[in-house]
Structure 1
Amino acid sequence: MRARINAEPFVHRCRVYYEDTDAGGIVYYVNYLKFMERARTERLRDLGFDQSQLVGEDLLFVVHSCEARYHAPARLDDELLVSAEVVEMKRASLRFNQQVKRAADGRLLCEGQVLVACVRAESLKPRVIPEALRAAFADSGLSPAGE
């Protein structure tokens, strides 16, 4: 399934804390991936699924690959808007496009794409995304344009 062009992406608000920055008060590059992870987790929660529930159902999402491009720095105390838009859903994976923007001015700071695989919690072997989760993503803006 591919995302509809006009679907609104999910946005998670977060704040840059001292622990997120380097000695210059600028967000350390790898911490953008942490902000993106939180947004993906909150996206699942927004759809009615939390990580502890999924683990109890022998399901984990693990990062298969990611790509990030950095455009401008975030700084200590900035409020960030982190999107988590599913642009592709296959049998056992989800592809997210994500952006991190500064809330105060909307400036794009970082953008990336993350492919997460659905695996069994016990064996870490691939498993099909459960129908209830597939339906929740479909109801939130995915259309069945290719699988």
Structure 2
Amino acid sequence: MAAEEFSLPLRVYIEDTDAGGIVYYVNYLKFMERARTEFMRAQGFGKDYIFNHDLMFVVRDVAVKYVAPAQLDDELTATVCLVALKGASMRMQQTVQRSGQVLARGDVTIACVDRAGVKPRRIPEQMLERLAPFTE
């Protein structure tokens, strides 16, 4: 089964751009973060679930390839595709697109940690079971 893709529509605001009206490079990471957050929320794992299970997800590794610039007022789509799910981490491939054209491509690994000690911990079984169908 091919991995399912989650999409989040976005708009580029002045705060996202540099003096020339081009999206500042770090903001693509913010767009990807929003898409990951909404993907997890759509699966039933919003902040209440995360906090009530005394866990956090932190970015362990990220690689981004910038392909083309987005500009002020562009309508964008940030995507998430869960490609690997392990006991304490998950890997996602992400894009930021404009009208189907990929502007940035990211490979992000997030790790599950406990809130108190910020030490690695196993992803809760309920979460692993619900997310497993999204992987390739």
Cα distance in 1 for residues equivalent to 2:33 and 2:72: 19
Cα distance in 1 for residues equivalent to 2:45 and 2:30: 19
* Mapping of residues 1-147 of structure 1, within 5 Å: 4=1, 6-102=2-98, 105-139=99-133, 141-142=134-135
Q: Percent identity at matched positions?
A: 51
Task: State the one-letter code of the partner of 1:97.
Answer: Q
Stretches of 4+ moved more than 3 A in 1? none
Return 5+ residue gaps in structure 2 as ranges.
none
State the Cα distance separating 1:31 from its structure 2 match: 0.3
Cα distance in 1 for residues equivalent to 2:9 and 2:91: 21
- CA RMSD, Structure 1 to Structure 2 (Å): 1.1
State the Cα distance separating 1:57 from its structure 2 match: 1.3
TM-score by length of 1: 0.88
Which string of whole-angstrom CA distances, capped at 9 and with x for unpartnered residues, describes residues 90-113 of structure 1? 1100101001100xx311100010
Cα distance in 2 for residues equivalent to 1:13 and 1:84: 12
State the Cα distance separating 1:29 from its structure 2 match: 0.2
Return 5+ residue gaps in structure 1 as ranges.
none
Which string of whole-angstrom CA distances, capped at 9 and with x for unpartnered residues, describes residues 56-106 of structure 1? 21110000110000010001111111111110011100101001100xx31
